Structure 1
Amino acid sequence: MTTANSSPHKSTAFGILSAAFALLCLALVPLMTVEIPPLVDYPNHLARMHILADGGHSPWLRQYYDIHWDLLPNLSMDLVVPPLTRIMSTEQAGKVFIALTFALLAGGTMALHAALHRRWSPWPLLAFFFLYNSVFLWGFLNYLFGLGLALFACALWVRLRSRSALLVMPLFSLIAAILLFAHLFAFGSFALIVSTYELSLWWRLRHEAVRPAGAARWKAAPALIIPLFLLTLTPTFKVAPEDYPLWLRGSPPPPLLTFLPPATKLEALKGTIRTEHRLLDRITVLMLVGLVGIGLVRRRCSILPSMFLPLGATALAAMAMPNTIGTTAVVDIRMPIVFVLLTVASSDWREISRGWFLPVTLALSTVFAVRMGYITEHWQNTAHHYRQFKQTLDQLPEGARLLSTIKMASYDNWSPAEGQIPEPMPMVNLSCWGVIRRSVFVSNLFAAPGQQPVRLTPAVHELLTVEEFLFRAAPIPWDQLRTQYDYVVVRRTQRLRPPPPPDFVPFGSGDEFQFYRTGRGQP
């Protein structure tokens, strides 16, 4: 039976969920208007999804790539996308995964806010402004998908922490293990938030005579310890130097940890809200900061005291994070988005008057729509060049070997030279679409033991790659490469030393790239 109090609550929840659905649809407009989203690593990851979905049926893919499942803390996309390809194409399944990632990030922020504040509020809808961030533009989708799951897991912990240990301990041990295999950093975010939240509550209640929920911190112990034990069973940290990714082969082993100058931490924070239109980004930030500032002055906007420690811990983690850990690069851009979404979930604006709410909502909605419009326009501008590339790939013989010499314009030996911003039209991984379109072998597919469930077969494991020479600033041995690859793709604006030999035959081209036929016997 509906009570007088529950009816308005349900009405508020329905209104907020409806607004969230509308914002999600608007956020997906750029994605729906292009064939290839301009995300740096996305084509490479999607090529792996195609290999996993194929399951070894293609004779060409079977010749080049082995599927080797293992306990890897990086499997979000690998477990979700291949099953979707049974009812849709690989390209469509990839877009569904991105849509799910957006829904998890925004929905997880809203769920955590509702759990912390015990009420529905439009405030966490601000999370939608942070969906297009530098982490997303780099194409680190496994991490973002796992982070969305982690936010939901934190919300569930807040709701259930005082329940029976017979429920809480096994449930969250399972959830934490799922997070670990979704992505290591997702589990790390969950562990950091939950442990500091429990520590904060214990500290605030340490002098209370009765603390009925005080034992909750011990219920969290298995959820934090068991995944760490599972992590020791994974091959991620047991990879030998000879098993490094292809672009590191032939170069010295990378240092375990590297750091960029402190100023890049500010760039990473700025990267939590990112378009190529810097003025639009500044206007958006000024509006959001101004909104919070007004709320603080009017004493309407506040942060839950129990979340001060989790927020401080994530901020410190973001400041302390190295740029690279082993062969994993651009690590330090990952924590700022956790801090921002956690801040949105932890804060609230109470007693919003209609006269104040409507104009603010209209202004924010307009800015959000303009941002999505600009991103859509920018993505459509890249689509022309991507279509040219895709059309050329479609002309390759099935099963050919393709050498990609395209390198990110802003890269030095280990890290981006221009802060943490990926280039506006990334092309470094576009050759991987050839795996999906023509079952080709590409030289730069992510296939590192301990990192992905796809490995190179012995037949192609020892092939040279251009990356190992570019990163060492060494001359490219074209005479060797012509015996190993059928085709080469170069970026017109990129200088190679030496350039491709004059007897390489132009094969297909676009405004930004040129394909050559090497003369090797065709497959």
Structure 2
Amino acid sequence: MNASANRWWESRLFMAAAVVLAVVPLLWPALPPLADLPGHIGRYHIASAIDASPELARHWQVEWALIGNLGVDLLVHALTPFLGVELGARIVVMAIPPLFVSGLVLVSIASGRRLSPAAAFAFPLAYSFPFQFGFVNFMLSAGLALHALALWIWLGSRNRIALRTGLFVPISWILWIAHSSGWGLFGLLAFATEAVRLRRTGCGWLAALFQAGLACLPLALPLIWMVSGTANGEPVEWGFKAKAGWFPSLLRERWKLYDVVCAIVLFSVLWMAIRDRRLRFEPVTGGAGLIAFVAFLAMPRLALGGSYVDMRLLAPAVALALVAIHVRPGNERFEHRLALAAVAFLALRTTTSTFAMAFAAMPQQQALEVTPHIPRGAAVLVLVNEPCSSQWVSRRLGHIAGVATARRDIFENSQWTLGGQQLLRHRHPQADPYTTDPAQLVYPAKCEYRTTDFATALREFDRGTFTHVWTIDFPARRRLARDVRLVWSNGVSALYAVERVPG
């Protein structure tokens, strides 16, 4: 058999199958069971329905503005009149993993003229921890950034620089509107790949770096808007202990030992590519992965009102490094074995991710059984029994109340209202500090991070604002307080009515 003529992983059929396979884990759940997504669904509904809902207008206001965090919001807003907010959100979010995988395929082909035999190792990173967390705007922007990078590389390789500059002024704005971190990621990748291209043409490194910086200047126009925006003055915080923890959490999903071993497999493949003389890194894609990894190391945990800023960059960095791996000529048998190992890894992670998503959806659907019992337009104090952040798996209930907002037009205290990050504002300042995320999260006393104390919240919450209390993953009681009476429970959710007690 002529092995070099039978690189099946480079076939269009294999590439298409990999893209389609990326959606499989999300096919069964009624809603993608990502940690933050229910809260986003509540926000999508408010933005779409507030003009027609007196109940929503009584509780919320939407301050439309151009911000770098609107990717999924705008797509769902466009689909909601035809599909409803929940189905619209499901379709958009289901498209994100295939978008990420197809972006990796296109970048590998644009830079190396063919798909890496190790590429399938990278494809499960579409379900990396940022996606599990529900950072859907960032993951959408990261997927778009990979597609944009493929176009950037392709035009550069054909010396269509003027056309590329004209196209990427609007493209950079699209990426920024989807999510500013995805836009920033693309800027780094574009700079790295352009520097490598220029170096290949004979430029010295200093000249290549300088010219690459000039080529990327048109991509920086959104920075002017950011500097003049409302997110300035937010704290910046580095968490180096947390940064070290993102390495084993790369594929964090449900089963700790299994997820950590899978992360070790990916890092071992990269180490093998560094050490094994049969392997090499394609310079353009490898340079992109390297600069993304350096950015991961350099970026803070908190910046511009956003959290986990550094964590988001690790999966794209590793994915790009993996698709940059190629086998040197003369090692065709080894090349096929590497491709088979990569596909086996992809099949394994797809199977377990499918089960993990199904398991994660179950407590969410149980918790949502309370929604028909919540009066439309009610103001609900939500208290969620949240495990410590160091616990590997959670039941992903911290923002489940957002779906109740979409179904019952309620006010609840798990939404995000950071200036410059979201368009949403609440109309109940008198109810502070129990009005926005993370006021709904009740951590055990042993946790390193604590927000709301259960007993204190029940004693202090504003009875003039809240008409109901919804506890999640706490044992139901006949009364939580003298004026807080149980009206419904199912073992996961418990709904209480706030009674008006004279005197």
For 1:29 and 1:352, how far apart are their aligned partners in 2? 36
- Give 1:190's aligned residue: 186
CA distance in 2, matches of 1:433, 1:367: 34
Q: Please name the residue that 2:43 is paired with.
A: 48
Partner of 1:438: 408
Deviations 1:285-336 (A, max 9, x none): 4554555566666633211335565444322221222222254222221121
* Amino acid corresponding to residue 222 of structure 1 in structure 2: P
For 1:250, the equivalent position in structure 2 comes to none
Contact 2:286/2:321, CA 8 A, preserved across alignment: no
Equivalent position SS for 2:481: coil
Say whether 1:482 aligns with 2:463: yes
Tell me if the contact between 1:77 and 1:142 (Cα under 8 Å) persists in the aligned partners: yes
Partners of 1:203 and 1:212 in 2: CA distance: 6
Q: Which residue of 1 aligns with 2:378?
A: 400
Structure 1 counterpart SS, 2:495: strand
The answer for the alignment partner of 2:167 in structure 1 is: 171
Q: Which of 491, 496, 502 is residue 516 of structure 1 equivalent to?
A: 496
Aligned partners of 1:59, 1:282: CA distance in 2, in Å?
A: 49
Change (3 A) 1:352 1:101: farther
Q: 1:450 aligns with which of 420, 441, 444?
A: 420
Secondary structure of the equivalent of 1:394? helix
Partner in structure 1 of residue 363 of structure 2 = 385
| Cα 1:113–1:169 shift into 2, 3 Å | same
The code of the aligned residue for 1:190 comes to F
- CA distance, structure 2, for counterparts of residue 463 and residue 93 of structure 1: 32
Equivalent position to 1:315, from 293, 310, 313: 293
Alignment partner of 2:430 out of 438, 451, 462: 462
User: For each residue in 1:187-236, what CA deviation from the matched residue of structure 2 results, as whole angstroms up to 9, or x when unmatched?
Assistant: 1111112223333444565667xx99996653332223x22123234333
Task: For residues 148-182 of structure 1, give each alpha carbon's deviation from its aligned partner in whole angstroms, at most 9, with x where no partner exists.
Answer: 11111111111112545542222111111111111
Residue 324 of structure 1 aligns with which residue? 302
Aligned pairs for 1:106-505 (under 5 A) are 106-161=101-156, 163-202=159-198, 218-224=214-220, 226-237=221-232, 256-260=235-239, 262-285=240-263, 287-289=265-267, 291=269, 299-306=277-284, 309-325=287-303, 327-349=305-327, 356=334, 361-406=339-384, 408-410=386-388, 416=389, 418=390, 423-456=393-426, 458=427, 460-466=428-434, 471=451, 475-476=456-457, 478=459, 480-493=461-474, 500-505=480-485
- How many Å apart are 1:485 and its aligned residue? 0.9
Return structure 1 stretches of 4+ with deviation > 6 angstroms.
11-15, 211-214
Cα 1:290/1:485, change in 2 over 3 Å: closer
CA gap 1:401/1:279 in 2 versus in 1, 3 angstroms: same
> CA contact under 8 A between 1:269 and 1:337: conserved in structure 2?
no
1:128 corresponds to which letter in structure 2?
Answer: F
Q: Could you tell me how far apart the structure 1 residues matched to 2:451 and 2:151 are?
A: 45
| Structure 1 position 68 matched with structure 2 position 47 | no
Residues of 2 paired with 1:296 and 1:212: CA distance?
A: 25
Q: How many residues align?
A: 481
Q: Which of 89-98 and 43-52 deviates more?
A: 89-98
1:397/1:207 Cα in 2 relative to 1: closer, same or farther (>3 Å)?
closer
d(CA) in 1 for partners of 2:176, 2:69: 8
Alignment CA distance shift 1:426-1:142 (3 Å): same
Q: Evaluate the alpha carbon distance shift between residue 326 and residue 174 of structure 1 in structure 2; reply closer, same or farther with a 3 A threshold.
A: closer
For 1:191 and 1:349, how far apart are their aligned partners in 2? Answer: 29
Q: Using the alignment, how far apart are the partners of 1:220 and 1:327 within structure 2?
A: 26
- Is the Cα–Cα contact under 8 Å of residues 138 and 422 in structure 1 kept in the other structure? no
Aligned-partner Cα distance in 2 for 1:216–1:357: 33
Q: Give TM-score scaled by structure 2 length.
A: 0.84
Moved more, 54-63 or 148-157: 54-63
Give the C-alpha shift of residue 143 in structure 1. Answer: 0.5
Question: Gapped runs of 5+ residues in structure 1?
Answer: 1-7, 239-254, 411-415
CA contact (8 A) 2:107 2:147 kept: yes
Q: Are the structure 2 counterparts of residues 25 and 157 from structure 1 closer, same or farther at C-alpha, using a change threshold of 3 Å?
A: closer
Structure 2 unmatched runs, 5+: 441-449
Which residue in 2 is equivalent to 1:36? Answer: 31
Secondary structure at the counterpart of residue 402 of structure 1: strand
CA displacement 1:241-285 (0-9 Å, x = unmatched): xxxxxxxxxxxxxx712222x343232122222232233334434
2: distance between equivalents of 1:494 and 1:202? 64
Instruction: Give the residue type in structure 1 aligned to 2:262.
Output: T
TM-score (norm 1): 0.81
State the 1:501 CA deviation: 0.8
Matching residue's letter, 2:424: V
2-structure distance, mates of 1:365, 1:486? 53
Opposite residue 46 of structure 2, the aligned amino acid is I
Q: Is the 8 A contact 1:133 1:272 kept in 2?
A: yes
2:89 matched to 1:94? yes
The match for 1:244 is none
Aligned partner letter, 1:101: I
Moved more, 75-84 or 486-495: 486-495
CA distance in 1, matches of 2:108, 2:10: 16
- The alpha-carbon deviation at position 66 of structure 1 amounts to 2.1
Q: Which moved more, 1:285-294 or 1:131-140?
A: 285-294
> Hey, what does 2:445 align to over in structure 1?
none
SS of residue paired to 2:307: coil
* Equivalent-residue separation in structure 2 for 1:352 and 1:265 (angstroms): 40
Deviates more, 1:365-374 or 1:189-198: 365-374
Q: Cα RMSD (Å) of the superposition?
A: 3.5
Q: Which amino acid aligns with 1:80?
A: L
